[in-house]
Structures are given as structure tokens and as C-alpha cells.
Structure 1
Amino acid sequence: MKGNSEEDPESEPDDHEKRIPFTPKPQTLKQRMAEETTTRSEGTSEESQEDENQDIWEQQQMRKAVKMTEGRDIDLSSHSSDFQTVKKFDTSISFPPVNLEVIKKQLNTRLTLLQDTHRSHLREYEKYIEDVKSSKSAIQNLENSSEQALNIKFYKDMKIYVENLIDCLNEKIINIQEIESSMHALLLKQAMTFMKRRQDELKHESTYLQQLSRKAETSTNGSLAIDEKTQRILEEIESRRTQRRQARALSGNCDHQEGTSSDDELSSADMTDFQKSQGDILKDHKKIFEDVHDDFCNIQNILLKFQQWREKFPDSYYEAFIGLCIPKLLNPLIRVQLIDWNPLKFDSVGLKQMSWFTSIEEFMDKSMEDSKKEDSSDKKILSTIINKTIIPRLTDFVEFIWDPLSTSQTTSLITHCRMILDELSIWEDEVSKGKQDLLKSIVSRMKKAIEDDVFIPLYPKSAVENKTSPHSKFQEKQFWSGLKLFRNVLLWNGLLPDDTLQELGLGKLLNRYLVIALYNAAPGPDVVKKCIQITAYLPEKWFESSAMRTSIPQLENFIQFLLQSAHKLSTSEFRDEVKEIILILVKIRALNQADSFIEQYHLDHLKSVISKV
């Protein structure tokens, strides 16, 4: 190329047409050989030397190829000859003597190589062990990740379920409140009807007897003028009493005192209206959850959902304080089941026999079996429900519907209260506010009954000497009615404090009404019978102390009346009744007064009565 450029200088491009080489252009094999040849033959011309070098290179390549072929043949022939030589071992050949140092060195070398190989194998083995461990860990992580996915799904499902449950209850609570109010209003109307009728009848009958007394005093000729309303009421009173007498005669109950009946009969028309209204309410009551799945209205199914949560994830269950939330969730459902529950009826179902009560008990029992936490909120589910749901409903019955003059209502109410409060004491160490409110309402209602419903008129002895006279009958009826209330008050023994019962029964009722009526009566067997009945209603635990020689202070007026009656009877034809009075004094632990009376009247044959105590 250089030669060509020198021979033809005119063919060179102009300066602006020249390419500036920034990098050397790669050379071909011929160019490199030519360049090498050029360096060796510097004396010759460039053009002739290039051709000569080309020829020389070709000849060299040919010679190399011939030599390589010949050498390969020679190696193959020599190798085969050597193999044949080795194969034909000549035993006559002698070997140099064995050098132990060389053998030892070779063995050490071989051992070192084997140890290195063993170490490399150990490293590979350890690597494989690590790979197995990492694989197992990866599998475990994958399994855990799948379990976490299931856990998340469970929590999501539970969240959706609780939200739907709350929405359902929020929607139904309005209907529940309306039906509760309707049933409460119906029972309240019935209770107010009985109360107003009793007070009206008492008022009209007392007015009639007063008019009758004034007529007898003035000795006016002619019949007593009575308005139509009073006449109608008196006829209704006598009609109901006649029906009760006939019913008692059929049942064989002849030992009955007028005034101890509840007098809660309804006319056929009123009974029909009441039953129809009650039936309509109960129909609406059954329709409340008829469009709701059992998982959202059945208490057992709801508790089963939370039980699954508690069994699968107890930590999150207790951290969420589900035990405090369950009573609020179950409150509307329990109220629905209590709409037809009347604790004043003698045949009403006890709470322990209700399905919701047994379901909650089972839920709590399983909680105490599964959980070792002593402060578990599940233990207070039942007590919370009783405090927040049952006791308020019971308190409403006491304040607005309960009639303390009715022995059947009082007995049934005491049975339910005793069971509820005993159940509450099992789960609670302290007295709850609900229990205090219930007991206060009971005391308040009995005070109101004593003030409004107890009326024992005092007539002249001339008017009551004849036991068949209207005045005597009315006075007897009212006395036994007050004595019935006295008994109903003292039936609360064990539920109400002793000092409260003594204040109500003895202070407000016995001393203020009954004892005064006894003072106004003529001494005789009837009076003793009444005193025996009063003593029978007194709680025995008030007189259990063996060291007690004097009775409780609230009985002082009653004791004085007994001593006065015994004094009068001892000088009359009813001397045998004195022993009964002494027995009464002994029973109420008025032993000092009994001893004094026996010594005063020299009744030595009665000392044995006291000595037996």
C-alpha cells in the first residue's frame, strides 16, 4: 500500500477528503505475516520481499504439516512397541534396591492427598446438611404462611359475623322494646285494676258501715239510702265472696278466714280482653326473629362462634375482653325470651330451666376447663347478665305490678329472688348495685302497701259484740287482711336484713295496727288464736339464742298485751287459754315476763313449760 501511494502521489485525496484513523484497523493474518517478513529482510525492496515472504511462508506451512504427520506415526509405533515390551516382562531384569524413605515419602504424600480429599468431602457433606436445614426451614415458613392465611381468614369471617350480628340486633331492638312495653303496660293495667278496685271497695264498704252506725245511733225510721254505685260495688263484693266460699267448700278448705283471699278475680269480659291482648302481644313476639338465621338469634349458636375463637386463639380472645362484650350482645335476645316470663305467677319457669341460662353455664364451664387464667372475664358473664338484664326486669315487677297483699305473688317472687341472688353470690364477692336497687324497691313497695292498703277500723264494743254484724265481719276481715300482709312481709326473712324486717313487720304493722285491734277486741279464744297466728309468722332465728331471757324490743307492746290478756283470762271462764299465752311468751323468749306472771298467780304447774326451754 505504501508502494502504491509512492508511485501515484497524485491519487492522494485532498486534506478535507482524508479519514483520520482514531483506532488502528485490525490486520489480517497475511498482513501480520507480511509485516513480520518485512522486518526480517530489510535490505530488499518492499514489493519483491513481500512476494518472496509469501512463498517462504507457504513452504514452511507445508513442511510443518509433513513433520506433524510423521511424528504422529512415530509416536504410535513407539507406543505400541513399548506396550509390547511391558507386556513381555523379563524376570531376569534386576531393579535397584528399595528405599524406605522414598516409600514413606510417597505414602505420606498419598495420605495427604487422601486427607485433603476427605476434608473436601466433609465440607460438601456439611454443605448438603445446611441445604437440607434451609429446605426444611423454607417448608416450615411456607406452611406457616398458609396457616397465617387461614388465621387471617378466620378473623375476617369473625369480624364480618359480629358486624352482621350487631346490625341485626340494632334493627330488632326497637321491636323488642315496643313488645316489652306493651306486655308491661298490659300487666300494669291489670295490677292497677285490682288495686283500684280493692281501694274503692274498701272505701265504699267503710262509708256504708259508717252510715249504718250513724243510723243506728240516731234510731231514724226508714231504710238507709245508698247510692247506686255503692250498691253495685257491695253486690259485686258479695258475689265474689260467695263464689270463693263455694270453691273452698268444693275443695274441702273450711279453715279459712275472710280477708285472706287475694280477691283478684276478673269478670269474664275482662278476662277475655286480657287474654286476647296477651295473645296478640305473644304473636308479635314470635315474629321478631322469624326472618333471621339461627346463627344470629340463637344464643347457643352465637356462643358456639365465640367458643371456637376461644379454643383456636385464646390469647387474642382474652385480650379483646370478649367476656365483657357477650352480655351486651345477648341482652336483646334474653329480653325476648323474658317477654312472657312473669315472676309473680306460681307456675312461672325458673331461670335455671331456661335455655339461655343453661347455654351460658355450659359456655362458662368450658371456659374454666380450657383457660388457666384466674381473672378470666368469662367467669362474670352470668353475673353481669343477671345484674344488667334480669334484676332490672325483676325490679320493674316489684315496683309496678307486685301486690304485697297477695301471698301467691309474694311466694313466687321470693322464690325467684332467692334463686337469682344466690346465683349472683356465687359469682360475685361484693353486693352489686342491681341487688341493692332490687332490695330497696322491695322495701319501698311493702312500706307503700302498709300505708295504703292496711285499714282496721275501731268500732264500739256494742257494734262488734255480735259476730254476725256487718261491723264485726268487716273488722275481722280487715284484721286478717293486715295479718296476711304481716306474714308476707316476714316471708322475706333471709333476703332482707333483720332490722329492716323488724321495722316493717313489727314497728309499722304489728304495733301500729294489729296490737291496737287486739286491744279493742274482747279477751277470749279468738284473741288467743290471733296471737298464736302472729307468733307463728315470726322467724325462728330471731329467738335462737339460748342466753336470751328478754325478747326483741319491737315485741314489747305485744308482750304487754299478752300479759294483760292472761291476767283477764285467769279470772274468767277461759283459764285454759292462759297456758297458751305462756307458751307464746316462751316461744318469743320473754322468759322473765313469763316467770313473773307464773309467780304472781302461783301457776306452779306451768313452770315445767319454762324449764323445757
Structure 2
Amino acid sequence: MSSRRAKEWKEKFPDSYCDAYISFCLPKLLNPLIRVHLISWNPLENFTELEEMPWFRAIEEFSDAENVSESKRDDDHDDEVLPRVIEKTILPKITAFVKSVWDPLSTSQTKNLVQLCNNIFVKQTLSKNESSRAREDLMNTVVLRMKKSVEEDVFIPLYPKSTVEDKSSLRSKFQERRFWSAVKLLSNVVLWDGIVQEDKVRDLGLSKLLNRYLLLNILNTPPGPDNIQKCKKVVACLPERWFQDLRGGSTLPELLNFSQHLLQCAHALHKDNHSDETKEILLLLVKIGALHIVEDFIEEHKLEHLKAMTGK
């Protein structure tokens, strides 16, 4: 490989090597060779650590400071070869997969992609000049692809309640399938939290997906086991860290309508003496940080035995 010959050159003629700025040329020289190695690589189907690939190990060995000549000069930039290769070759290839191949509704594909991106951004030190542009292109493509999926793949029909009361009816089954498909997409969107900017994840997952589609179905589901199950799954999708630093006992702005629905369910269930189900709903409100709602409900209905769930 080119890196091996460059290493030999550096060991024998270090001054000539540095004067030729080889470390800046290598990423472009290696690009077509690495692309050949990656012809059969599909990061969506089979997750493979970059560190396990032969080309990666070869460049890593070449860039390793412990293996370079003792006469290393201040203008030696070999440690930037690997980050530049990742930026100029790997990230654009991943971006192409995201744009043309990735299905945001596929949990396995999304998990593989998230794991790969997380490993690259956490383990690899991308060069300051290029990383922001390469990473930004990838993240923008991820967001656009998820937005397209929300707009084109999500469809939850609203039927009159009388036509879906029979759970075995075709309309009811179809509506449920579409609902749970949208919940799956919500779960996959939220997997990007910590990699994609939080405000963009919340906009896609909560403002667009939950409030625009899922909540309409939940509002048309009578209070009871089915409604509770749907609400539980929605809350289970949401990262706990979103609610760790909330102040004032209020939930996220995007969850105000959802929290009001939970409150209405709690009132209806309490009125029908379903104490266990009422407690389940209140616990969901606690999980999303709507503590004031829970405290007011407990005080209104004199449920002092439930005060402990608010942490007070």
C-alpha cells in the first residue's frame, strides 16, 4: 500500500519526506485504494468496526507516533492522515448510503448506522479544518432523510370510533399497524440523540411525528389498557436526559399536549375507580417531568399516598 512506501521514505529520508508534504497528499492517493476495499462494505446491514479493516490498521500503524522516526520534525503531520482519510473517503461514503439506501423505518439499519457514526465521532479525532464540513454534510443528510420518512412513510387513518371498536375488523387492524409503524419510526429517530443536534431530534420526533400523527390516534383511543400501552411506548422512546434538567415542574414544550392528554386519562380512570391504571398514568407524567400536573392531581383527589412518586 502507498502508506507502506511512504513510511519507508520517511524512515530513510525524513527531511525530504517532510519537505514534500506527503502527509497532505496521502489521503488523496489512498482514496481510490480504500474505495476498492470498501466496494462490498454495507454499514447498514453488517456493522464492522473501522479498526478491524486492513486499510485502517495500515494507516494507523503508519500514523502511530511511537513508530515514527526519532527525528520527527515540528511540521510532521502524519497523525492527521487517518482523520483526513475518514473525512474525505469514509464520511462521504456513509453520507451516500444515508441518502440512497438507509431506511429510517428499519431499526437494525438505524442501530448499525448510529453505532458507526458514534464510534467515528467519539473514537476518531477529526481534523479541525475538515471535520465540521464532512460531519455537517452527513448530519444534514440524516436529518433530511428522516424528515422525508416522516412526511412520506407515516400514515395513520382516522376512522369513526364505531368502525374500529371491533378489534378484529380490517380497519382497526390497519389503523393499529400504521400507528405502531409510526412509533417504530419515533424510536429510530430518537436513537440519533447525542449525535444529531437535540433540537432537530426533538423537532422531528416530537413536533412532527408525535404531535402531528401519533397523538391524534391516541386521543381517539378510549382511556384504558390500549391507551395506556400506547402512551407507555411513546414515553419509553424518549431519552431520560431530556428531562433531567427541567425546572419549574413543567415538561418539554413539545409534550404539553401529550401531558394534557395523560391528565385527562388520569381523571377518567380515577372517576371509574381504576386506581392502578391511574397510578400508571401519573408515573408517565413524572417520567416526562410534568411534576406540577401530578402534584395538583394528587392534591385535588386527596391521594396523599402517591406523593412519594414526585420525589417530595
Q: Distance in 2 between matches of 1:311 and 1:367?
A: 13
Deviation (angstroms), 1:516 = 0.9
Are 2:155 and 1:455 equivalent residues in the alignment?
Answer: yes
CA contact (8 A) 2:190 2:237 kept: yes
Q: Distance in 1 between matches of 2:182 and 2:156?
A: 8
Tell me the equivalent position of 1:402.
102
SS of the residue 1:428 aligns to: coil
Q: Distance in 1 between matches of 2:237 and 2:291?
A: 19
CA contact (8 A) 1:598 1:607 kept: yes
Tell me the equivalent position of 2:262.
562
Correspondence list, 1:529-548, <5 A = 529-545=229-245, 547=247
Q: Distance in 2 between matches of 1:443 and 1:588?
A: 24
Tell me the equivalent position of 1:363.
62
Match among 107, 119, 122 for residue 422 of structure 1: 122
Q: Distance in 1 between matches of 2:11 and 2:65?
A: 10
Are 2:199 and 1:499 equivalent residues in the alignment?
Answer: yes
Alpha-carbon displacement from aligned partner over 1:47-66 (angstroms, at most 9, x marks no partner): xxxxxxxxxxxxxxxxxxxx
Q: Which runs of 5+ in 2 are unaligned?
A: none
Match among 86, 93, 99 for residue 393 of structure 1: 93
> Among the aligned pairs, what percent are the same residue?
50
Q: Distance in 1 between matches of 2:24 and 2:253?
A: 48
Q: Distance in 1 between matches of 2:208 and 2:75?
A: 46
Are 2:136 and 1:436 equivalent residues in the alignment?
Answer: yes
Match among 11, 14, 19 for residue 319 of structure 1: 19
Alpha-carbon displacement from aligned partner over 1:367-422 (angstroms, at most 9, x marks no partner): 77435445422111111111111111111110111000010111111111111222
Are 2:211 and 1:511 equivalent residues in the alignment?
Answer: yes
Tell me the equivalent position of 1:54.
none
Deviation (angstroms), 1:537 = 1.0
Report the AA paired with residue 490 of structure 1. Answer: V
SS of the residue 1:432 aligns to: helix
Are 2:170 and 1:470 equivalent residues in the alignment?
Answer: yes
Are 2:20 and 1:328 equivalent residues in the alignment?
Answer: no
Q: 1:449 to 1:325 in 2, by over 3 A?
A: same
Alpha-carbon displacement from aligned partner over 1:532-558 (angstroms, at most 9, x marks no partner): 111111111111227552111111111
Match among 31, 51, 59 for residue 352 of structure 1: 51
CA contact (8 A) 1:367 1:378 kept: no
Report the AA paired with residue 414 of structure 1. Answer: V
Match among 572, 589, 602 for residue 289 of structure 2: 589
SS of the residue 1:576 aligns to: helix
Q: Distance in 2 between matches of 1:357 and 1:557?
A: 49
Alpha-carbon displacement from aligned partner over 1:288-345 (angstroms, at most 9, x marks no partner): xxxxxxxxxxx2xx32221121112111111110001111111111001111000111
Q: Distance in 2 between matches of 1:422 and 1:498?
A: 17
Q: Distance in 2 between matches of 1:368 and 1:460?
A: 72
Alpha-carbon displacement from aligned partner over 1:141-187 (angstroms, at most 9, x marks no partner): xxxxxxxxxxxxxxxxxxxxxxxxxxxxxxxxxxxxxxxxxxxxxxx
Higher RCO (CA-CA < 8 Å; seq separation 6+): 2
Tell me the equivalent position of 1:308.
8
Correspondence list, 1:29-178, <5 A = none
Q: 1:323 to 1:505 in 2, by over 3 A?
A: same
Correspondence list, 1:172-321, <5 A = 299=1, 302-321=2-21
Q: Distance in 1 between matches of 2:258 and 2:169?
A: 27
Alpha-carbon displacement from aligned partner over 1:512-568 (angstroms, at most 9, x marks no partner): 011111001111011111111111111111112275521111111110110011111
Q: Distance in 2 between matches of 1:503 and 1:375?
A: 45
CA contact (8 A) 1:446 1:489 kept: yes
Report the AA paired with residue 313 of structure 1. Answer: F
Q: Distance in 2 between matches of 1:421 and 1:409?
A: 18
CA contact (8 A) 2:10 2:17 kept: yes
Q: 1:306 to 1:515 in 2, by over 3 A?
A: same
Q: Distance in 1 between matches of 2:74 and 2:261?
A: 58
Report the AA paired with residue 469 of structure 1. Answer: S
Q: Distance in 1 between matches of 2:289 and 2:215?
A: 19
Q: Distance in 2 between matches of 1:538 and 1:348?
A: 25
Report the AA paired with residue 450 of structure 1. Answer: V
Instruction: Give the alignment's Cα RMSD to 1 decimal.
Output: 1.6
Q: Distance in 2 between matches of 1:373 and 1:591?
A: 60
Report the AA paired with residue 127 of structure 2. Answer: E
Are 2:226 and 1:520 equivalent residues in the alignment?
Answer: no
Q: Which has the larger radius of gyration?
A: 1
Q: Distance in 1 between matches of 2:310 and 2:9?
A: 68
Q: Distance in 2 between matches of 1:409 and 1:374?
A: 43
Ranges of 4+ aligned residues in structure 1 off by more than 3 Å: 366-369, 371-375
CA contact (8 A) 2:18 2:75 kept: no
Q: 1:372 to 1:550 in 2, by over 3 A?
A: farther
Match among 567, 583, 598 for residue 298 of structure 2: 598
Report the AA paired with residue 409 of structure 1. Answer: Q
SS of the residue 1:399 aligns to: helix
Deviation (angstroms), 1:428 = 2.8
Q: Distance in 2 between matches of 1:546 and 1:503?
A: 18
Q: Distance in 1 between matches of 2:10 and 2:190?
A: 47
Q: Distance in 1 between matches of 2:248 and 2:94?
A: 38
Q: Which runs of 5+ in 1 are unaligned?
A: 1-298
Match among 547, 569, 577 for residue 277 of structure 2: 577
Q: Distance in 1 between matches of 2:75 and 2:227?
A: 60
After TM superposition, the score normalised by the length of structure 2 is 0.95
CA contact (8 A) 2:7 2:62 kept: yes
Report the AA paired with residue 432 of structure 1. Answer: S
Q: Distance in 1 between matches of 2:246 and 2:68?
A: 47
CA contact (8 A) 1:402 1:409 kept: yes
Report the AA paired with residue 64 of structure 2. Answer: D
Deviation (angstroms), 1:573 = 5.2
SS of the residue 1:387 aligns to: helix
Deviation (angstroms), 1:575 = 3.2
Tell me the equivalent position of 1:206.
none
Tell me the equivalent position of 1:197.
none
